[in-house]
Chains A and B, each alone.
Chain A
Amino acid sequence: MKKSVLFPLLTCVFVLILALLNPLEHPHNFLQIVPGSYLFFALISSLIWILVSKGIALWILYKDRDYYE
């Protein structure tokens, strides 16, 4: 495993432990019910953001810089 992946990975583990130790007493939504779910929500959402935005950009939006000239 690369050393550089350790920083984000260890941060996630640390934050997950903190989340498990501090659950919300009166949850309002599905993310607040399960401690640590925000972490996975962010992980999956960031992957989706990157894949969808870049995918659409490569598919249809990206053009050469002189496109309008």
Chain B
Amino acid sequence: MNSIIHPALPLMIAAVLALITKGYLRSVLSVVAIAFAGFCFHTLLQTPHTEASLILGHSFHFLRIDPFSVAFIWIFIFYTFASILYSLKKWSGPLQAGALAYAGSALITVLAGDWILFFIGWELMAVFSAILIWNPKRPESLKALYRYLLIHVAGGLILFTGILIHLKSGGSVNMGPIATSNPAFWFIFIGFAVNAGLPPFHTWVPDAYPESTPQGGVYLCAFTTKVACYAFGRSFMGEPILLWFGAAAAVYGVFYALIQEDTRKLLSYHIICQVGYILCGFAIGTPLAINAAIAHTYGNILFKGLLFMATGSMLSSLGSSRLSELMQRKASPIIGAFFLVGAFAISGMPGLNGYVSKTLLLQSASKSHLEWLSTLLLLVAIGTFVSIGLKLFYFAFLYPRPTDQSSVATNPPQSIPWYEISAMSLLTLACFLFGLRPEYFSHFLPHAIPMHVYDNFHIIESLQILAGSWLGFYFLRGFLKPKAKIALDLDLIPRKLYAGIIEPCCQMLSQMQDSFQLTLRRGIQNLHSLYLESRQSPMQSVERSLLVALSGLFLIAVFLFAGYLLS
């Protein structure tokens, strides 16, 4: 019998050990765990294994190995290694444990073959990712954490309802496509949309991610939304509705990114935007489009991770992630160089991974006669370059600094540790390798289709896009100068609802509870005095007891009636 180990197991064990170990030992254990997870997965691909395991009478499909899941698992393992490297020495045990368990639960979710296991992994991700949002240096992060948990619990409940309806209506327990005629369609779609950060369920992304620690942000940007993309690809491949949601997310994300002042908030909106790209690929559903979507998932994890790492290092070094404050301080040129690579990659510069995946997406849209979509994605690419490659880079690194640097003397920038530079170098190398030699990565894609992205026309098309955007930004760069403001988003509605209705209701309930307790206490005291009196005059006590009993009956009737109305 061949013994196989689930790749998530080493990460889960390391997560437990991270709580009881310290310093280098914890770091070494984390690195060994992810290396072992990679080894386990490699062995799994070589070894024939049983499809299902019987636990408590239910057949669980722990390991669904097919080209689609394999593509996601490899990039998750690689990125987890880079993230562990980035946060090598800076983290406390609980945060390191949360990060490892978060990565492990992402592997469980992607490899899950049935809906039950998928849901368990999905919820584990929500719980462990919440740990990463907590930032001991920022008290506001706790509020963001509560909001994050609230929306994910709601999303999880909707998904669970969908799964139950699907199973109840005779659907297969194996995770697979959901037809539009299925009564569970919208429940499962919305459940996925919450985690993918699709508008209008996206507000948790720019709310929670910027509040996390620099290391937490690096982990968070890669897993939850990408696992949701995987889920969409698995269950809603080729669905036209996904195309509309994807296109809307791409436009919405880039619009809000352009007006952000906080660098990490800006990048969070770009997560929504890039998720839109990926979902458009899955919605088109042709083999080329699926390859393009997965290539863009790879690209997005690599360049977005690099950008989050660079802004995280900037936050650690200069103490701020706000552009209006960064404009006063001189950022490290090394971070600037890494940031530029990430910014060019996300903008589709030839030679970097974003160029390959975006060109493939545009090709697939054109071949499917969706010219409007390819034009829209070009527009989004222009907005992406303006917001990240030009606005963010210009104001964070190139904007003329004030001559008076007295604040710098009192609060000098901290140096960038070697492990952060190593992690960023690793992702930079991956961005270039994927960009220059896409054929090396074609083995990870589900369909064996040759990638023709490097021809004169496509290279010059991309260069035109970048050069034209640069000139446009040059003329209007004054308009984009960051302001120390927040931009209202759709979370305004629940926040106002909370402040206007829910909070007063809670206060009213609290007052009612207080008065109820007071009444109850008085009632008990009265009963006690009645009892004492009854021992002296029995006739009077009978009348009073009758009155108490009738009042009790009346109260029970009121409660029953209220219950009937509410049901």
Once bound together, how far apart are the Cα atoms of A36 and B467, in whole Å?
Answer: 11
Q: Which of B8-16, B60-68, B455-463, B528-536 contacts A (4 or more CB under 8 A)?
A: B455-463
- With A28-B366, A50-B480, A63-B486 already in contact, the answer to whether A42 and B460 are too (CB < 8 A) is no
Assess the A62–B487 pair: CB atoms within 8 A.
Answer: yes
Give the distance to chain A from B354, nearest Cβ to Cβ, in Å: 16
Rounded to whole Å, the gap between the CB of A53 and the closest CB of chain B is 4
> Taking A19-B460, A38-B464 as contacts, is the C-beta distance between A62 and B486 under 8 angstroms?
yes
- Chain A positions 8 through 34: 1 when the CB is less than 8 Å from some CB of chain B, otherwise 0: 110110111011001110001101100
Report if B374 contacts A (CB, 8 A).
yes
Q: How far is the CA of A49 from the CA of B371 in the complex (A)?
A: 20
Q: Give the interface segment out of B89-97, B109-117, B378-386.
A: B378-386
Contact mask for chain A residues 42-64; partner B; CB cutoff 8 A; 1 contact, 0 none: 11111101110110110011111
B466 neighbours in A (Cβ, 8 Å): 42
Given contacts A47-B476, A57-B487, A64-B486, contact A28 B371 (CB under 8 A): yes
B484: which of A14, A23, A65, A68 is its contact (CB, 8 Å)?
Answer: A65
Q: Given A15-B464, A22-B460, A49-B383, are A42 and B472 also a contact pair (CB < 8 Å)?
A: yes
Query: For the complex, what is the distance from the CA of A25 to the CA of B292, rounded to whole Å?
Result: 24
| Chain A residues whose CB sits within 8 angstroms of the CB of B366 once the complex forms | 28-29
A17 to chain B, nearest CB (A): 10
Do A29 and B474 touch across chains, with their CB atoms under 8 A apart?
no
Whether B471 pairs with A12 at a CB distance below 8 angstroms is yes
Q: Is the interface of A mostly helix, strand, loop or mixed?
A: helix
Taking CB as reference atom, which chain A residue is nearest B483? A62
- B259 CB within 8 Å of chain A: yes
Task: Give the residues in chain A near B469, CB-CB below 8 Å.
Answer: 42-43, 45-46
What is the distance, in angstroms, from A52's C-beta to the closest C-beta of chain B? 8
Contacts of A62 in B (CB 8 A): 259, 483, 485-488
How far is A62 from B487 in the complex, measured between Cα atoms in Å? Answer: 5
Indicate if the CB atoms of A53 and B476 lie closer than 8 Å: no
> Does A54 contact B479, Cβ atoms closer than 8 Å?
yes
Closest to B385 in A: A46
Check A41–B378 contact: CB distance below 8 A: yes
How far does the Cβ of B120 sit from chain A's closest Cβ, in whole Å?
A: 34
Within B350-385, the residues touching A (CB, 8 Å) are 366, 371, 374-375, 378-379, 382-383, 385
Among B382, B466, B480, find the residue whose CB has the most chain A CB atoms closer than 10 A: B382
Q: How far is the CB of A62 from chain B (nearest CB, A)?
A: 4
Give the residues from 180 to 202 in chain B that come closer than 8 angstroms, CB to CB, to chain A. none
Chain A positions near chain B (C-beta within 8 angstroms): 4-5, 8-9, 11-12, 14-16, 18-19, 22-24, 28-29, 31-32, 36, 38-47, 49-51, 53-54, 56-57, 60-65, 67-68
Q: 14 A–B contact pairs at CB < 8 A?
A: A4-B474, A8-B467, A8-B470, A11-B467, A12-B470, A38-B464, A41-B465, A42-B468, A44-B472, A46-B471, A53-B259, A57-B259, A57-B487, A67-B488
Task: Give B contacts to A, CB under 8 Å.
Answer: 254-255, 258-259, 366, 371, 374-375, 378-379, 382-383, 385-386, 456-457, 460-461, 463-476, 479-480, 483-488, 495
Known contacts A50-B386, A61-B487; 11 additional CB pairs below 8 A are A8-B467, A19-B460, A22-B457, A42-B469, A43-B469, A50-B480, A53-B258, A62-B259, A63-B486, A64-B485, A65-B484
